[in-house]
Amino acid sequence: MLEVKKVNLAYGQMQVLKEVSLRVHGGEIVSLIGANSAGKSSMLNAISGLVPLAGGEILFEGNPIHSLPSHEIIELGIIQVPEGRRIFPYMSVRENLLMGSYSRRARPKSSEALQRVFELFPRLAERSTQLGESMSGGEQQMLAIGRGLMAGPKILMLDEPSLGLAPIVVEMIFKVLQEVNRQGVTILLVEQNVKESLDISIRGYVLENGRVSLEGAAKDLLENSYLKKAYLGL
């Protein structure tokens, strides 16, 4: 479904992604793991059309998308739940969610999508008129994911959803992601939290200093000795 081919990305003089290739097939949950500033967010931003590539291609369902403007990429159903959530602080929960269904594709199905999000996250339904900035970290993450779902994504890309959240909240969120995947949404999960994300994934890639250093089935990666030492502290 999504194919990233030998992509190069630079911010000024600094090369952030070097010949990175990865693939996500329909229906999968794939993890992209790495430490801080390994280039993970940049990868997602490149796919979302927020930053231009210095080289390489990104294909979605066979068609090149790397030169498209960000709003067209959203229309294709490639939705990102960004790092730090980026919810709209002075808009209510409901308004934030409605922004999620802004695209032409998602707008007609907006009310049903809203229902479904409220079912998945009953807390959001309770707080539907509350302002974004007044919510806790966990609630904001739920809101951000809910907002992503409002767009009716074909593929949902999440940038470090577990960041700064209590383990019990993280557990809940990952359960929701599995449920969403079961309902047919492909997921590309970018994380520093290696164990939790690989646990729910089929395959994974490890990004180090802008390069893919390891890839393979999630189960195998979890057994990999280098990974265990470097990322799991074992």
Partner 1 sequence: MWIIVGQSLISGLLMGGIYALVSIGLTLIFGVMNVVNFAHGEFLMLAMYLTFWVFHYFQIDPYVSLLIVAPALFLIGAVTQKYLIQHLIRAEHYTQIFATVGLSTIMANAALFFWKADYRMVKTSYVSSTLTFNDLVVSYPRLISFLVAIGITVLLFLFLKHTYLGRAIRATSQDITGAKLMGVNINRVYIFTFGLGSACVGVAGALLMPIYYAFPTVGLHFVLTAFVVVVLGGMGNITGALFGGLLIGVVEAFSGFFISPELKEAVYFVIFVLVLLVKPSGLFGLTKG
Span from 8-16, 55-63, 77-85, 184-192 in contact with partner 1 (CB under 8 A):
77-85
Q: Is position 95 an interface residue for partner 1 (rule: CB under 8 A)?
A: yes
Query: Which residue among 57, 61, 75, 199 contacts partner 1 (CB under 8 A)?
Result: 75
Q: How far is the CB of 125 from partner 1 (least distance, A)?
A: 19
Nearer to partner 1, 99 or 222 (CB): 99
Can you read off the two tokens belonging to residue 78? 């490639």
Taking CB under 8 A as the criterion, which residues in 136-155 touch partner 1? 147, 151
Q: Which is nearer to partner 1, 103 or 186 (CB)?
A: 103
Binding to partner 1, residues 10-69 (CB under 8 A):
48, 50, 69
Whether 125 contacts 94, CB under 8 Å: no
Query: Given candidates 34, 100, 153, 210, which one binds partner 1 under the rule CB under 8 A?
Result: 100
Q: Report the residue number, 44 or 218, with the smaller CB distance to partner 1.
A: 44
Number of residues interacting with partner 1: please give it, by CB under 8 A: 26
Q: Which amino acid is at 82?
A: P
Stretch that binds partner 1, among 23-31, 57-65, 76-84, 219-227 (CB under 8 A): 76-84
Among 34, 39, 82, 146, binds partner 1 (CB under 8 A): 82
Binding site for partner 1 (CB under 8 A): 48, 50, 69-71, 74-75, 79-80, 82, 86-91, 95, 98-100, 102-103, 106-107, 147, 151
